[in-house]
Structure 1
Amino acid sequence: MKLLKYIKIITVFFIMISLNYACDDYLEEEIYSDITSENFITQDNADQLVVGVYSSLRDVYKEYTFQYLGTDVFTSKSEIFSFSPTNDYFNLNSGEGLAVWSNNYSVVGKANIVINRYENQINWSDANLGARDYGIAQAKALRGLAYFNLVQQYGGVVIEVDEVQTIRTDYVRSTEAETYAQIISDLEEAIPVLLDDPSTGRISKRAAQHLLAEVYLTRAYTSAGTSADFDTAAALAEQAIGDYDIRSQSFAEVFDYGNQENDEVLFAIQYGNSGLADDKSNNKHSLFMNQVFNYPGVNRTTTPYGVSGFGAMPTPFFYSLFADNDTREDVTIHRAIIADSDEPDGPDNIVAGDTIVYYPKNALDADELADRLNRYWVYQPDQYLFGLPDDIPGVNYLYSLNIERTNFPIFKKFDDQDFNEDTDGARDTFVFRVAGTHLIAAEAYLGAGNTASALNHLNIVRERATGVANEYTSISIDDILNERAIELAGEENRWAVLKRTGKLEERIALYNPHVMDHGTFNAGIHLLRPIPANELQLSDGSLEQNPGY
């Protein structure tokens, strides 16, 4: 059975038995021992506990601030004089980012319940011991994923591998090295048991190998790692890639809404349009866009573009990365906004199908610009983002008539055919793709000093995009970061990647407009996030804050 269908079933199941595994914060979890869930959980329905861990990942991957803001390719969606603590590293404090902490610890807590109940409370028949081991392996893999998300943001964190059955306030943080050791232990125990080809939505052996490759790669840069971690990461990435050739389908086919369950996707968070409260709730399509319905001819209820959420805005640097022959550009962004309804009161009696706004890749000359401004608004590459350019006398489309203050080519790759009038959609969120595995391999081989293998993996990704074989003849970490930026835009945790490679401070100073204008990044502080204030308060002093907060 497809996991999404199982999630729908389990939603009703948990309502009936009143088992609320989600918690608002880790240090104040519910005491589940008072609920006689043993009466409901047997070997026949135990898998529903595992599905509960998967469903909790939705909240983890809907949170965007600590993944995208304050990086080289994304900035805050506001005018240049505005301030954002997370994006600008300005007065960033322990009130920021609670969702990252609590959502990942929700995954940890649910995984611990699975492992404890599977190991200690469910009576398994000999015939079902394989199902027991498989359930535990899935829980450990997802717990490893959650702890990896946490260690990248906070450094060493609280490690809890037992089901919480009493209220505790004496939690202490483990070291970064201990946290990585726990992640690696979980994944290495899980991988031999995970299936090569599980039902859609479940973590596979190759997905866990991809994750473990990135864990080793990330640890290699830290004091907890060694140079051998680069070799281990490369070997694991090769195993995760297997014999799949990403050039067997185009980038456009990978992101075709009707082709979401394609072979390149190693692991995805599933959504749907069944009508259940949490089923159609993906906000991905809304994150990297402006308020399109502010334009005449774009109706909030019928627009194919969706409704903007809080989200982030691509930087001018991001748009500059696409070469003229890079097919990913047309899949990733909209360069034109098209009217979906008539609006006779608009600037020039707009009818459905008219172009409203155009964002040329290359600057238009004065004559062509004036001609196009008689038909629609045009924002030249140096006019993306903030405010409005000066009007050009004598043309129909005066910039001063546009009420949208942030104008930029919005994202296309996450367009959702089943979104509602708010920001809820049904497109799956891709967590791991084989193209990303190639880029992990390239980075790992580069770290290990094997430039030939690093080039091979980088060029495979590039060839799919441009049709040119062996386009890169030399390789640097910046080449890999640039390729990741366009191949995995809005998918990868960009902040964590820049931190890992030691490039965060350098690249935000060069490419993030708000940071360039008034950012206050301090590497002694901002390479770690602040532990949420309420966690510190609940711990009665046992939980230590990161330096500088």
Structure 2
Amino acid sequence: MKKIISIISLALILLTSCEDLLDEQNKSNVTAESFYLKAEGYESLVNANYSAFRNIYGRSPWLFMAGTDLYSEGRGNEPVGLSQYKELNPSSSNVDFLYNNCFAAIQRANAALHYSDLTEQTPSLSQRVGEVKFLRANAYFLLVQTYGGVSLITEIIGEAVLEFDRNSAEEVYDFIVAELEEAVNLVEDGTYSGRINKKAVQNLLAKVHLTRAYESFAKGDDFSKAASYAETVIGGQALNLSFDEMWMPGNEFNEEVIFSIQFSSGSISSDPTKLGSQQQNWFGSYLGGSEVAGDAPFKSYSLCPTRFALDLFTEGDVRWEGTFMTEVYERYYDYFDVEDKSTLTIEHFYEPSWFTSDDRAEYKSLNPDVDYHEYGTHDPEGGDISNNFSTIIVKKFDDPTSLFGSGGSSTRDFVVSHLSETYLVAAEAHLGAGDASTGLTRLNEVRRRAGVANAT
């Protein structure tokens, strides 16, 4: 089907010029044409490009998580089409969420690139253009992975358009690569500060080439280019942080973060229960209303780790404790707020797969009043999801500084790309390029940090 009906909400496009429908004119109204021609206004437009990705990464996670082998439905319902693949069609709930939000982000990028030729010329303008090109390419990368071929819209839209030509997936990938190759020459090196730098662009290029390498239209050098870009990003940097440090709240600007979506209390102050990130709310069982007092995050009971996901962890793997809230204290946030936990009361304990009967007996003897969840009973497959606290809780995205337990109230940055992922990209790319030895070395650096034995 060559023509597709656009389902982009054109009401989201901020940047159309207005026709004078009335004789009266609002002299205080600042039009896009005048505002974005000033350096300050253009900077605001670029910042709006970043904020567009809050909706993509900080809201509904269904197209990223539902229906996978890592999470399954708990007591809270997931979209049936995406979680169970029943009656899945274009009008199914949340199918168009990523489509609409990515194209809204693309339109902001198109506007920023349009005004880059018209605005005041400043020393930072090339850097900003590179940032916007990266963000537009990132949106298209999400789209092509999810929907296949989509429309390549590269110009600002100033009026309603009912149809767009649909480009092939191959054309979309070619556009993404070209866009990123331009961006990498525009942005600066330096430590990541929230704005796109060379490392972020090179990292996305590595992922794009690696993903395209499995397509029927793959280029012959996709694996080798993915490996090369990933190695440039790694640049000899080891995984120096512990897994727990990497994901500790308040440490989102650590040395391993490559690209993240920024949130702050100031930026969501106009509606602090809705404008923040929702990611802390999705993963694990409901906590019995403790979020009302601000003692815990609200958990929707929608995305619960599966038995398959839990079985991936083995004894000694530090990621088990770094990912899950294995012990729940009387006040949930005491895990983050109290340094000496020896005197705290443990309410719930979630057993790992490697516990023996002796381990279980010893833990119960030391904590006789604990609600003990044996392995095999705290996942949706074996647990009673009608009860609170029944499935193990993911703490990786928790925000103990959130003023409200429910809704979009978290101000933790959403980490999109980090160095350990780049090691895995490099490992897979080297393997695909025929260099299994180097690939294994990269893989084992991740396993070393996790505390598990080397793969052979």
1:312 aligns with 2:319: no
- 1:51 paired with 2:35, answer no
Q: What corresponds to 1:464 in structure 2?
A: 449
**Secondary structure in structure 1 of the residue aligned to 2:394:** coil
1:386 positional shift? 3.8
Deviations 1:498-539 (A, max 9, x none): xxxxxxxxxxxxxxxxxxxxxxxxxxxxxxxxxxxxxxxxxx
User: SS of 2:161's equivalent?
Assistant: coil
TM-score under structure 2 length normalisation: 0.84
1:364 Cα deviation after fit: 5.8
Match of 1:523 in 2: none
**1:69 to 2:69 alignment:** no
Q: CA deviation at 1:238?
A: 0.7
Tell me the C-alpha RMSD between the 2 structures: 2.8
Kindly state the Cα deviation for residue 299 of structure 1 after the two structures are TM-superposed.
5.7
Change (3 A) 1:327 1:87: same
1:417 aligns with 2:400: yes
Which has the larger helix fraction? 1
Q: CA deviation at 1:449?
A: 1.6
> In percent, how many aligned pairs have the same letter?
28
Partner residue, 2:24: none
Q: CA deviation at 1:300?
A: 3.0
Matched, 1:260 2:255: no
Q: Partner of 2:22 in structure 1?
A: none
Match of 1:450 in 2: 435
Aligned to 1:512: none
For each residue in 1:232-268, what CA deviation from the matched residue of structure 2 results, as whole angstroms up to 9, or x when unmatched? 110011111123211x221111122232211100111
Q: Given the superposition, is the C-alpha separation of residues 376 and 387 from structure 1 closer, same or farther in structure 2, using an over 3 Å criterion?
A: farther
Of 231-240 and 355-364, the range deviating more from structure 2: 355-364
Structure 2: gaps (5+ residues):
1-5, 19-29, 333-342
Q: Which stretch has the larger CA shift, 434-443 or 282-291?
A: 282-291
**Structure 1 residues 361 and 241 mapped into 2: Cα distance closer, same or farther (>3 Å)?**
same
Query: Residue in 2 aligned with 1:157?
Result: 150
Q: Distance in 2 between matches of 1:312 and 1:466?
A: 27
Tell me the SS of whatever aligns to 2:288.
Answer: helix
Give the Cα–Cα distance (whole angstroms) in 1 for the partners of residues 326 and 257 of structure 2: 27
Q: CA deviation at 1:181?
A: 0.8
8 Å contact from structure 2 (residues 12, 104) kept in 1 = no
- TM-score for the superposition, normalised by structure 1: 0.71
Q: Is 1:203 aligned to residue 188 of structure 2? A: no
Number of residues of Structure 1 aligned to a counterpart in Structure 2:
417
In the alignment, the residues of structure 1 paired with residue 388 and residue 8 of structure 2 have an alpha-carbon distance, to the nearest angstrom, of: 37
Structure 2 residue 432 is matched with structure 1 residue 439: no
| SS of equivalent residue, structure 2 residue 165 | coil
Q: Map of 1:78-117 to 2, 5 A cutoff?
A: 78=75, 84-95=80-91, 96=93, 97-117=95-115
AA aligned opposite 2:194: G
* Residue from 284, 289, 293 that aligns with 2:284: 289
How big is the shift at 1:370?
8.0
| Gap change, CA 1:24 and 1:371, over 3 Å in 2 | farther
Is 1:354 matched with 2:345?
yes
Partner of 1:236: 229
**Residues 371, 83 of structure 1: alpha-carbon distance in 2 compared, 3 angstrom cutoff:** farther
Secondary structure, counterpart of 1:356 in structure 2? strand
One-letter amino acid of the counterpart of residue 227, structure 2: A
Q: How many angstroms does 1:111 deviate by?
A: 0.4
Instruction: Go from structure 1 to structure 2 and tell me whether the alpha carbon gap of 1:147 and 1:330 turns closer, same or farther (over 3 Å shift).
Output: same
**What SS class does the counterpart of residue 300 from structure 1 fall into?**
coil
Residue 132 of structure 1: CA displacement?
A: 2.3
- Judge conservation of contact 1:326–1:466 (CA < 8 Å) in 2: yes
Tell me, yes or no, if structure 1 residue 329 matches structure 2 residue 320. yes
Structure 2 CA distance for aligned equivalents of residues 162 and 218 of structure 1: 26
CA distance in 1, matches of 2:135, 2:330: 43
**Structure 1 position 380 matched with structure 2 position 374:** yes
One-letter code of the match for 2:396?
K
In 1, the alpha carbon distance for the partners of 2:76 and 2:128 equals 48
The residue aligned with 1:25 is 8
> 2:291, 2:406 within 8 Å by CA — same for their partners in 1?
no
Deviation of the 1:40 alpha carbon: 1.6
Amino acid at match of 1:110: R
Residue 166 of structure 1 deviates from its aligned partner by: 2.1
For the 8 Å contact 1:138–1:190, the answer to whether it is kept is yes
1:250 equivalenced with 2:236 (yes/no):
no
Query: Per the alignment, in what secondary structure is the counterpart of residue 432 of structure 1?
Result: strand
Find the aligned partners of 2:80 and 2:326 in 1 and give their Cα distance. 27
Q: How far 1:407 sits from its partner (Å)?
A: 1.5
After superposition, give the CA deviation of every residue in 1:90-123 in whole Å (9 maximum; x if it has no partner): 111212322211111111000000000012x224
Q: CA deviation at 1:83?
A: 8.3
- The separation in 2 between residues aligned to 1:364 and 1:198, in whole angstroms, is 46
